[in-house]
Amino acid sequence: MIELAIHRPGLEAPRAMTPALASSFTCVLAFARRELREALTSRWFVLYGLAFAALSVSVSYVSLASAGSEGLAGFGRTAAGLLNLIMLVVPLMALTAGAGSLAGERERGTLIYLVAQPVSRWEVLLGKFLGLAAAFVACLCGGFGLSALVLASRGAVGIDSFVMLVAATSLLALVMLALGFVISVFSRKSSVATGVALFTWLFLVLLSDLGLMAGSVLFKLRVQELFALSVLNPLQAFKLGVVQGLESSLDVLGPVGVYASQTWGERLPWLLFGVLCAWGMLAFAVAAFGFSRSSTA
């Protein structure tokens, strides 16, 4: 299981800053590569990849098939279908994968070997994160690539929109992965971690939106309050960003969308990007803090 034989001259004899940083970087990279290799050869990840590819291809295909023979297929319609799929599947994959990573190793007793290496814990964590992140980007690119080929057969890909969708989805996957790591760091058993991840998924995907809807109706929330509250949810921020990218404004989302477009204007994409990045970095920082203090067994 442990395939690393770590020899680290930087720790034995203190050196200048730059070589130490470089050595730290190669360490992170070694961990990342190990994590990536394990992910790509593990059954669950291959399953995720195949499932995502099959779902996105079939969504693309179905949305084209219903267009009939008139060449009416527009990417907007397909994107709406893909968007729903992404919001359901990608957080589920990333949260459970992140939740399983550390908790699984801890349960199998391999985590102790990892942290016994002459590396700091954040290097371990960052390495694992980057490895899984790369695995996810590969998985998403595979699924999207196949969908693009299906869509291209009917000339229905807006290239800019598609690239935007892939980039936004990758960012969403990273954020959800980081949240998964937080769960993983604080869970003793991988079954618990998976359970918490599933509940988090349910909350982010459904419960928070449903709660906001109920709150909006019950408390007569004003548009700015509703916008502020909803954009706190990284999934909503992702959705708003994609809609903004596809439609170049949020007018299609009713009064709240009009408010957002008019208030934030050109800065809206940056706001949404910032919300996603903040979630990701905050989650990773919490995970790193927790991991540095947690026990390994």
Partner 1 sequence: MLVSALGFAILGVAASAAAVDDTRTLGVERIVALIEASSDGETIQIPAGTYVGNLVIERSVVLEGRGEVVIDGGGEGTVVTILAPGVTLRGLHVRGSGAGVDREPAGIRAEVGPSIIEDNVLEDVLFGIDLRMASDSIVRRNRIVGMPLEAGRRGDGIRLWWSHDCVVSDNWLRGVRDLVLWYSERLTIERNDVADSRYGLHFMYSHETNVADNRLHQNSVGIYLMYSRRITLRGNSLRQNRGPSGYGAGLKDCDDILLEDNLFVANRVGVYLDNSPSSVDAVGRIANNQFVYNKVGMLVTPNTRRNVITENGFVENEEQVTVHGRGELSGNAFHELTEAGPRGNYWSDYPGFDLDGDGLGDLAYEPRYLFEDLLAREPNLRLFVHSPAQRAIEFTARALPELRPAPKFVDPDPLMSPPASRRVGPGPDRGNLGQVALGLALLGVSTAIGLGALRAAAPGTEVC
Is 5 a binding residue for partner 1 by CB under 8 A? The answer is yes
Name residues contacting partner 1, limited to 117-146 (CB under 8 A). 119, 134-135, 137-139, 141-142, 144-146
Is 50 a binding residue for partner 1 by CB under 8 A? The answer is no
Residue with Cβ nearer partner 1 (40 or 51):
40
Q: In the complex, what is the shortest distance from the CB of residue 51 to partner 1, in angstroms, rounded to a whole number?
A: 15
Q: How far apart are CA 209 and CA 235, in angstroms?
A: 10
Q: How far apart are CA 286 and CA 187, in angstroms?
A: 14
> Which range touches partner 1 (CB under 8 A), out of 24-32, 104-112, 180-188, 279-287?
24-32
**Site for partner 1 (CB under 8 A): which residue of 67, 112, 271, 286?**
67
Is 6 a binding residue for partner 1 by CB under 8 A? The answer is yes
> Which range touches partner 1 (CB under 8 A), out of 37-45, 186-194, 271-279, 287-295?
37-45
Tokens of 147: 């969908």
Nearest to 178 by CA among 288, 283, 31: 283
Is 236 a binding residue for partner 1 by CB under 8 A? The answer is yes
Name residues contacting partner 1, limited to 154-183 (CB under 8 A). 154-157, 159, 162-163, 166
Is 20 a binding residue for partner 1 by CB under 8 A? The answer is no
Rounded-to-10 torsion of CA 165, 170, 175, 177: 140
Start-to-end CA distance of the chain, whole Å, equals 16
Burial string for 251-280 (b: 16+ CB within 10 Å, else e) reads eebeebbebbbeebeeebeebbeebbbebb
- H runs (alpha helix) in 43-109: 43-65, 75-108
One-letter amino acid identity for 205? V
Q: In the complex, what is the shortest distance from the CB of residue 259 to partner 1, in angstroms, rounded to a whole number?
A: 9
Q: In the complex, what is the shortest distance from the CB of residue 72 to partner 1, in angstroms, rounded to a whole number?
A: 5
Name residues contacting partner 1, limited to 246-285 (CB under 8 A). 247, 251-258
